[in-house]
Structure 1
């Protein structure tokens, strides 16, 4: 037990890494988060302000409050009180686990170990998914359904978006410990899996991560980023065209996306998988619950109040879509203008903090992964859901370990 509080040992690193290890397997990743949350609470009990309000921990604490306070304020008059209350009460586990991560990763050797373990694990994900694409089954025997899903198993489409967020960890490790041709293979492998996973949100996240990471990498090597961007774009176009010709599942997603090019309501709605219905209703919910929203995670009960007859997202049980599929609209409809104000402050703090991180490999990679997901011009999965909130919290906590070592040595 004592070794879990010693950054110079392996147990804290393995505990942090086990979250990624278990991520594809249902809710099992909650276990390491639960353990880290308990240990984080113990650290706060022992060290108080030193743990939560110094160095990167202060930034992490502020970022957490920007999201959690609007969630808590949405509870009293929520239209689904029990769900909102349980979400607000359980959300702080992410904070306590994050405090533990920041404290344990305050030494550079710990961060280097976690970078290495995480990169190799993600490379295994890529290999497993590519095997599934090539032979129809992955290493666990999961078949290739309508989208590539690898270790995530049947009917779970999180692989593409998760890998798009985590890919900078692979690139950062390989760029510092491998040859340039190995880095090229690592990028091509991650790109192929994200492409074949056929999730358009993940394509945008991957593109943002690629452009920003390659900019920093080019500057690190002393040449203009355009020398990387031109071949990257050419490779992406050729790969996309080739995949379109040989993969009907990918072609179907592209054909659907192309319908937006006529810029009509019908075309945009079809291209976005009928999401214009969701976004219109989210705006209506925000208009009717402007201050603190309909309640965190209550969108499914607010939706029917404003849905038109024949709305495709109305369920037989009288509920609607679970979330708005767009970050700003999800936050606005569920936590109101208070939530949007908190999100604005969150972005200001998070972006300012991201300056100058490129000299810290793991910190930079995890910051970039979280930023690419949070980039507001995209469709989004649910910010307040367990899976995505845990993953984003894990990334932001690790990215907040930047200043910890210097602070503890004062």
Structure 2
């Protein structure tokens, strides 16, 4: 549902209501929970590490009304995360869910290759035609359709997040391909994903995917084979860069950082140096609990270090800090960062003390979550509906997979055994 944000939000909300009602019903009936106690605890802790900073930042936010509305709406993520953890709580459900995510990622990858070859994403084109038939207009305004400067995939040219989404989901496809087809399955899938991600043009996605390749390929291929694959991939990436004007433009922009001047660095970072300076101003002015979650755009004009200059990204203020640590500090302050770190510490502690079998089954979700929040990268807005929802989805998949109870649970229809079946 991610390519259709409105429908995706509706599904998320309905899933959250169902999960909350079902868990209360089972509790009142005195039946065992559908979710193991450790998985329930870690999922709730990870939610609180995300939501409490948002709540504390709303008390003196720049726009209190919006901040409190978003804080209240954020409560839906808790039962949603429980539902996601339930979905990977038993071997049968976990196999269905994780393989399903791998299949979706694979289909989106093939769709991206089709767009690279023919100029149009078949999946997005199909949805766009359906939208035209229903409402008389498309999913994207014509101006945004024409202005798209990279491969946009199934998300379309008015939602240019395809590279980051595909890179974050790539561990599910790579681990599934390796389990089903061995080393060759991993290498073919890695190559297909790599081509699409290079053409998608997001440098943040390139770094994310590089981390995925290293940590997923090291154990499977060994150091020498992995280095050989990486070298071959770099050759292919350079070839794509030469042949693609969009990729070439991003490589040229990156090279501006070596000019040694602040303006060159700012251009190389697509204006992020200016945004990060503004984030530093917000942190200095609101160090305790920040300017409010999603309040960056409102605080930016006052903290803009170069208000007289034309913005690199175009008209309008910067919408977020484009870096997870700066976003947390600017929007939720030191208090928010401490809460995020406390949740991360609990996630790491759970991994450290989990048995080997639990770590193996949680490895795809762990890697997907780790590379998504990797701090030495640029990021989308973690307190936005789109990226925040995807991040919490990965967090719940991790907690549910790692701390799943392998025994059948009462109240779980998938685990009901007919009488006499034994």
1:220-299 equivalences in 2 (<5 Å) = 225-299=222-296
The alpha-carbon distance between structure 1 residues 278 and 155, as it changes in their structure 2 partners (threshold 3 A), is: same
SS of corresponding position for 1:400: helix
Give unmatched runs, 5+ long, in structure 2. 126-144, 411-422
Q: How does 1:12-27 map to 2 (within 5 A)?
A: 22-27=1-6
In 1, Cα distance between equivalents of 2:348 and 2:9: 28
Deviations 1:67-91 (Å, cap 9, x if unpaired)? Answer: 2111101112111112211111111
After superposition, the C-alpha distances for 1:119-155 in whole angstroms (9 at most, x for unaligned) are 1221111111101101112214648942011111222
- Distance in 1 (alpha carbons) for counterparts of 2:291 and 2:59: 10
Correspondence for 2:379? 380
* 2:45 is the counterpart of 1:65: no
Q: Is the CA contact 2:90–2:408 (under 8 Å) kept in the aligned structure 1?
A: no
> TM-score w.r.t. structure 2 length?
0.84
* Cα shift at 1:43: 3.6
Contact 1:36 1:100 in 2 (8 A): yes
- Aligned residue pair count: 382
Shift of 1:258: 1.3
| SS of equivalent residue, structure 1 residue 178 | helix
- Aligned residue number for residue 309 of structure 1: 307
Question: Contact 2:54–2:332 at 8 Å: present in 1 too?
Answer: yes
CA RMSD in angstroms comes to 2.5
Aligned to 1:371: 370
Name 2:132's counterpart in structure 1. none
Say whether the 8 Å CA contact 1:115–1:362 is kept in structure 2: no
**Using a 3 Å threshold, how does the CA distance of structure 1 residues 226 and 314 change in structure 2: closer, same or farther?**
closer
1:261-312: CA deviations, max 9, x gaps?
2343222111101111111111111111111111111111111112233144
Aligned residues of 2:191 and 2:233 also touching (Cα < 8 A): no
What's the CA shift for 1:325?
Answer: 0.7
Which position in structure 2 is the counterpart of 1:170?
Answer: 173
Give the 3-state SS of the residue equivalent to 1:91 in structure 2. Answer: helix
The alignment status of 1:28 with 2:7, answered yes or no, reads yes
Instruction: Report if the CA contact (8 A) 2:267-2:312 is conserved.
Output: no
Pick closer, same or farther for the CA change 1:316–1:381 going to 2, 3 Å.
closer
1:112 to 95, 103, 107: 95
TM-score of the two chains, using structure 1 as the length reference: 0.86
CA distance in 2, matches of 1:102, 1:378: 27
Distance 2:174 2:75 in 1: 31
Using the alignment, how far apart are the partners of 1:82 and 1:115 within structure 2? 39
Taking structure 1 as reference, are residues 46 and 177 closer, same or farther at Cα in structure 2, changes over 3 Å only? Answer: same
Contact 2:58 / 2:68 at 8 angstroms: preserved in 1? yes
For 2:268 and 2:356, the matched residues in 1 are separated by: 36
The alpha-carbon distance between structure 1 residues 357 and 89, as it changes in their structure 2 partners (threshold 3 A), is farther
Deviation at residue 315 of structure 1 after TM alignment: 11
Residue deviations 1:320-370, cap 9 Å, x none?
Answer: 211111111111111111111112212222333344687456632122111
CA deviations 1:180-225 (Å, max 9, x no partner) are 323211110111111110001111111111111123435xxxxxx3
Query: In the TM superposition, what are the counterparts of 1:51-62 in structure 2 within 5 Å?
Result: 54-62=37-45
Q: Distance in 2 between matches of 1:243 and 1:215?
A: 25
Give the distance between the partners of 1:29 and 1:322, measured in 2 at CA. 22
For the 8 Å contact 2:124–2:155, the answer to whether it is kept is: no
| Cα gap change, 1:155 to 1:315, in 2 (>3 Å) | closer
Q: Distance in 2 between matches of 1:202 and 1:312?
A: 26
Any conservation in 1 of the 2:168–2:208 contact (CA below 8 Å)?
yes
Asked whether the equivalents of residues 98 and 393 of structure 1 are also in contact (C-alpha less than 8 Å), the reply is yes
1:333 aligns with 2:333: no
CA distance in 2 between partners of 1:243 and 1:374 (Å): 28
- Hey, what does 1:183 align to over in structure 2? 186
- Which of residues 105, 126, 136 is equivalent to 2:119? 136
Structure 1: state its 5+ residue gaps.
Answer: 1-21, 219-224
Name the CA distance, whole Å, in 1 between partners of 2:163 and 2:350: 27
Q: Distance in 2 between matches of 1:33 and 1:83?
A: 21
Is the contact between residue 138 and residue 151 of structure 1 (CA under 8 Å) also seen in structure 2?
A: yes
Q: Cα deviations across residues 20-79 of structure 1 (Å, max 9, x unaligned)?
A: xx1112322112211220122114423559578812221111111112111101112111
What is the CA–CA distance in structure 2 between the aligned matches of 1:408 and 1:326, rounded to whole Å?
Answer: 42
